[in-house]
A and B are shown apart, each in its own frame.
Chain A
Amino acid sequence: MKKHSYFERTKTVSDSSFRRRMIFPFVIFVVLLAGGFFAWKWLNDQPQDHMILKPLRKTLEANEKVFKGTLGKNKESKTYTVADAVKNVKVNGLIGIQDTIDASKWRLQVIRGAGDTLKISLDELKQLPKKDIIFDFKCIEGWSQVTHWAGVSMRDFMEHYHLQGFEQMQYAGLQTPNKKYYVGIDMKSFLEPQTILCYEMNDAPLPMKQGYPLRLIIPVKYGIKHLKCIGTMFFSNSKPPDYWAEQGYDYYAGF
């Protein structure tokens, strides 16, 4: 191996050359400092796109392209056993949740087109095969909990109700019956094998505050996308409105 001696990295220079070598880099340094300052100012002066700076919103969208399915199809969240699941499931958001809801009158409304809405009761949904999923539910705030849910696999649901035609569309949208909470989800994530229309938590019907009678469980997304108390489902090629994306969060919000 070649021997590098640090103390041999010397050079003898004239006094004027030395002065130049001292001053010039500092001039550049100050120019860069000012450049950095103005770049930061420029960024922070940019218009907002749904509560965050436009260039940063664009970056979030680019990040989605980089990370979505980078490592192959059918990505699944790690699953756990029933014993791992917590008994006290955290209730974090109640936007769009009503105090009471009459399940006998409730229907899942799937909008297939103008004036063509499919209405499905809870009992009808329960006729489909039940799928359990126990996974680490992750909130965008930073906490997570291993929780146990059960319901109808989204893939089964789409197939059973002959909705596969809509799988070619870019997005699915969900809304609470009172339209106060709403999410948009890219179709790829929507159809991941672990996504379920959930009506049970810890082997019991969903509590009211967990979105009775039916909520979305989509393990490849942050909790903000797991809409509680589904009223309407629709499909679209443009981004359906999304409550938290409008508040400055990433629209994709996926893992």
Chain B
Amino acid sequence: MKTVLKKHPLAIRWFHWINFPILGIMIWSGLLIYWAYSKYTLSVGNRQLFHFFSPGFYKALKVPHRLAEGMSFHFAFMWLFFGNGLLYVTYTIFSGEWRYLLPNRKSFKEGWQVLLHDLHIHKYVPPQDKYNAAQRIAYTAIIVMGFGSIITGLAIYKPVEFGWCTWLCGGYESARLIHFMLTIGYCLFFVVHIVQVIITGWNNFQSIVTGIEIFKPITPEPQPQMQIETQPEEVQPSPIEPLPNEEA
């Protein structure tokens, strides 16, 4: 006999794995488009630190002279990206999963503690629910970013029909810049996400495929200094909510 924890509902696993290749295609086709006017740099004063991107980078990824192709992919897969994102948000709202995802009052303080812990600066283990505070912030931020990509995308794709989006983004050029920065944000998110998943290990990773995890009751370690202040609330015994049937 084994005790398992139902971690990810089937719907969330689908949304996650559908989003992954689609976002990949959006970023790749976006790069083909960006190449045609690739002017963004990171600079301090007059000193240029980094140019997005180097000719070698473009060449290695076979990017040059594929603007039309990039647009054709971008403006088709945008529908899938948008649709999948919309379904995910709708699902989290109606299933109640949002409770584990949205940051709460304590999240910003605890998020900082998670960061200190993960960087091995501090030994204190912040409270862990389905997601810890840093995860709540990250997984909510990524949805806000997705929303930002849609608004900035509309602002540059249809600046007349959706002129209000362009206005909201501070103009056409700034909309394009934000659209680009959000994409860099996804890439950074991806790197951190992969590193964290690898560090956390197999039991955690497999749950985004199977939905379940072997249950390991969390026994709070003695943490003399900060325990009193930040100990998680006592969980009141409450009837277990019926869970959505997760097997297709």
- Chain A contacts to B: CB under 8 angstroms: 2-15, 18, 21-22, 25-26, 28-29, 32, 36, 40, 51-53, 55-57, 59-60, 63, 67, 69-71, 75-78, 136, 138-144, 219-220, 244, 247-250, 254-255
Q: A37 to chain B: closest CB distance in Å?
A: 9
Are the CB atoms of B160 and A26 closer together than 8 Å?
no
Segment 109-164 of B: residues with Cβ below 8 Å from A: 129-130, 157-163
Assuming the A-B contacts A6-B129, A25-B210, A250-B75, are A142 and B36 also in contact, with contact meaning beta carbons closer than 8 angstroms in the complex? yes
Are the CB atoms of B172 and A8 closer together than 8 Å?
no
Residues of B near A255 (CB, < 8 A) are 157-161
Residue in B2, B158, B161, B209 whose CB lies within 8 Å of A26:
B209
Verify if B37 is at the interface (C-beta below 8 Å from A). Answer: yes
In the complex, A56→B161 CA distance in Å?
A: 22
Verify if B6 is at the interface (C-beta below 8 Å from A). Answer: yes
Verify if B102 is at the interface (C-beta below 8 Å from A). Answer: no
Residues of A near B248 (CB, < 8 A) are 28
Residues of B near A254 (CB, < 8 A) are 160
Q: How many CB-defined contacts (below 8 Å) exist between A and B?
A: 141
Residue in A7, A12, A55, A76 whose CB lies within 8 Å of B1:
A12
Residues of A near B69 (CB, < 8 A) are 51-52, 248
| Most chain A CB atoms below 10 A, which of B13, B71, B157, B243 | B71
Residue in A26, A76, A220 whose CB lies within 8 Å of B210:
A26
Return 11 A-B CB contacts under 8 Å, by A number. Answer: A4-B96, A4-B100, A12-B1, A22-B210, A25-B210, A29-B17, A53-B72, A142-B37, A143-B37, A144-B172, A249-B68
The interface residues of chain B, by DSSP majority, are classed as mixed
In the complex, A25→B235 CA distance in Å?
A: 32
List of 6 A-B pairs having minimum Cβ-Cβ separation, nearest first: A142-B37, A248-B68, A255-B160, A56-B72, A141-B36, A59-B76
Residues of B near A40 (CB, < 8 A) are 21
In the complex, A136→B212 CA distance in Å?
A: 54
Q: B27 to chain A: closest CB distance in Å?
A: 15
Verify if B229 is at the interface (C-beta below 8 Å from A). Answer: no
Are the CB atoms of B5 and A7 closer together than 8 Å?
yes
Residues of A near B54 (CB, < 8 A) are none
In the complex, A248→B36 CA distance in Å?
A: 15
Are the CB atoms of A5 and B238 closer together than 8 Å?
yes
Assuming the A-B contacts A6-B129, A10-B5, A11-B6, are A138 and B172 also in contact, with contact meaning beta carbons closer than 8 angstroms in the complex? yes
Residue in A6, A11, A22, A75 whose CB lies within 8 Å of B100:
A6
Q: B3 to chain A: closest CB distance in Å?
A: 5
The residue of chain A having its C-beta at the shortest distance from the C-beta of B129 within the complex is: A6
Residue in A7, A10, A15 whose CB lies within 8 Å of B218:
A7
The residue of chain A having its C-beta at the shortest distance from the C-beta of B171 within the complex is: A136
Assuming the A-B contacts A2-B241, A10-B215, A11-B3, are A55 and B76 also in contact, with contact meaning beta carbons closer than 8 angstroms in the complex? yes
Q: B12 to chain A: closest CB distance in Å?
A: 13
